[in-house]
């Protein structure tokens, strides 16, 4: 486990986390406003795997994604978050993302005056500088070529790159911007926490088509949702169910189908049967 002892500057210089990098959550306990919310979460997401995290409202799903990305309001009181063999708990959110962890935000902010292309070029350059502090940034023609390649891959209209980020975007367009960002930054692992409401069918389709396209390029994805619906589009190999701050059940795609049919009650009963 020597790699975990890396000092951050060295780590950042060598940020190229090895292929097959995994995100490992080990016995994670998280408090929000001094209240324990996560109570020992264990989960491993490897590159090239699609995992769905489901569970009733308030079970702690978003708390997990916020803790993974290092949101300051979420206090990790025990456990570890390991990415590519490196403990990332002491890293700032932007350091985590430069290492190759991508988080699609539930409520993306609008940045009037900043185009999608400019935003993405800045984000890409930040990631390149993390790898090599001397990096002068991607030359504009090369960036333009990259954008076109990615937009074509995602079957997006090229005009999208010139739009102001999230300014007047529909739900679907916000998701499109996120998926394009994922395509350009090429994270190893992406976490997509879907809002419990407001994800219309168009947005759902954009997200799932994007994930399915990028998945073939060895992206690992954790899709967080309480909707069975999204799983009609994204096909996870692994499904986990969170209740009351713990993952209480893991299985294959059939687990999501079972949930749709039977709800969460059987799990609650099972939990109670376990003496909880
Ligand atoms: P889920 O995403 O599964 O619906 P959350 O992680 O959002 O669940 O919430 C789990 C619990 O943590 C809830 O009781 C919620 O009120 C609380 N919680 C989460 N985030 C915050 C926050 N920023 N401030 C206060 N309470 C929070
Ligand atoms: Mg949530």
- DSSP states of 157-221 as a string? -GGGGGSBTTTT--HHHHHHHHHHHHHHH--SEEEEE--SS---HHHHHHHHHHHHHHHTTT-EE
Compute how many other C-beta atoms are within 10 angstroms of the C-beta atom of residue 106: 16
Q: How many domains does the chain divide into?
A: 1
Domain presence at residue 249: yes
Residue-wise pLDDT tens digits, 235-261: 889 999 999 999 999 999 889 888 888
Which of 90-94, 107-111, 204-208, 217-221 is modeled with the greatest confidence? 90-94
| Cα 194 to ligand 2 centroid, rounded to whole Å | 7
Domain presence at residue 1: no
Residue-wise pLDDT tens digits, 57-114: 899 999 999 999 999 999 999 999 999 889 999 998 888 888 888 887 545 566 778 8
- Decide if pLDDT at 184 tops 50: yes
- Decide if pLDDT at 195 tops 60: no
Residue-number span of the structural domain to which 54 is assigned = 7-273
* Phi and psi angles of residue 221, each rounded to the nearest 5 degrees, phi first: -130, 135
| Cα 186 to ligand 2 centroid, rounded to whole Å | 25
Tell me which of 23 and 203 has the higher pLDDT: 23
Residue 34 beta carbon below 6 angstroms from any ligand 1 atom: no
Task: Give the HSE-up count for residue 275: Cα atoms under 13 Å, Cβ half-sphere.
Answer: 0
Domain presence at residue 2: no
Instruction: Give CA 69 to chain center in angstroms.
Output: 9
Lowest mean pLDDT among 23-32, 71-80, 179-188: 179-188
Contact 194, 223 (CB under 8 A): yes
pLDDT band at residue 2, thresholds of 50, 70 and 90? very low
Residue-wise pLDDT tens digits, 30-57: 999 999 999 999 999 999 899 999 999 8
Domain presence at residue 238: yes
Domain presence at residue 60: yes
Compute how many other C-beta atoms are within 10 angstroms of the C-beta atom of residue 26: 15
- Decide if pLDDT at 152 tops 60: yes
Domain presence at residue 225: yes
What pLDDT, on a 0 to 100 scale, did the predictor assign at position 275? 54
What tokens were used for 211? 């994930």
CATH number, residue 219: 3.40.50.300
What pLDDT, on a 0 to 100 scale, did the predictor assign at position 60? 96
What pLDDT, on a 0 to 100 scale, did the predictor assign at position 9? 42
Shortest-distance Cα residue to atom 18 of ligand 1: 32
Q: How many helices (H) and strands (E) does the chain have?
A: 9, 10
pLDDT band at residue 142, thresholds of 50, 70 and 90? very high
Most informative mutation of 37, 70, 196 for ligand 1 (most atoms within 8 A of CB)? 37
Domain presence at residue 82: yes
Domain presence at residue 206: yes
Shortest-distance Cα residue to atom 5 of ligand 1: 60
What tokens were used for 30? 């998280």
């Amino acid at each position: 486990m020597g790699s975990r002892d890396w000092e951050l500057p060295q780590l950042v210089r060598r940020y190229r986390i090895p292929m097959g990098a995994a995100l490992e959550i080990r016995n994670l306990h998280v408090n929000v406003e001094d209240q324990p919310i996560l109570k020992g979460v264990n989960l491993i997401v490897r590159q090239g795997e699609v995992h769905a995290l489901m569970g009733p409202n308030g079970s702690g799903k978003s708390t997990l994604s916020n803790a993974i990305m290092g949101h300051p309001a979420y206090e990790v009181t025990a456990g570890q978050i390991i990415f590519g063999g490196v403990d990332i708990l002491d890293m700032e959110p932007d350091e985590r993302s430069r290492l190759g962890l991508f988080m699609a935000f539930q409520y993306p902010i609008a940045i009037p005056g900043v185009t999608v292309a400019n935003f993405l070029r800045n984000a890409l350059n930040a990631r390149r500088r993390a790898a090599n502090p001397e990096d002068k940034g991607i030359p504009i023609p090369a960036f333009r070529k990259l954008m076109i390649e990615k937009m074509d891959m995602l079957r997006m209209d090229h005009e999208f790159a010139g739009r102001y980020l999230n300014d007047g975007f529909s739900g679907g367009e916000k998701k499109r911007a996120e998926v394009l960002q994922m395509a350009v930054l090429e994270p190893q692992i992406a976490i997509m926490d879907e809002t419990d409401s407001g994800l219309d069918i168009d947005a759902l389709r954009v997200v799932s088509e994007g994930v399915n396209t990028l998945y073939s390029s060895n992206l690992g994805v954790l899709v967080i949702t309480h909707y069975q619906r999204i799983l009609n589009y994204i096909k996870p190999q692994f499904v986990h169910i969170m209740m009351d701050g713990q993952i209480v059940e893991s299985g294959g795609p059939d687990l999501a189908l079972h949930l749709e049919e039977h709800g969460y009650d059987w799990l609650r009963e099972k939990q109670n049967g376990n003496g909880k």
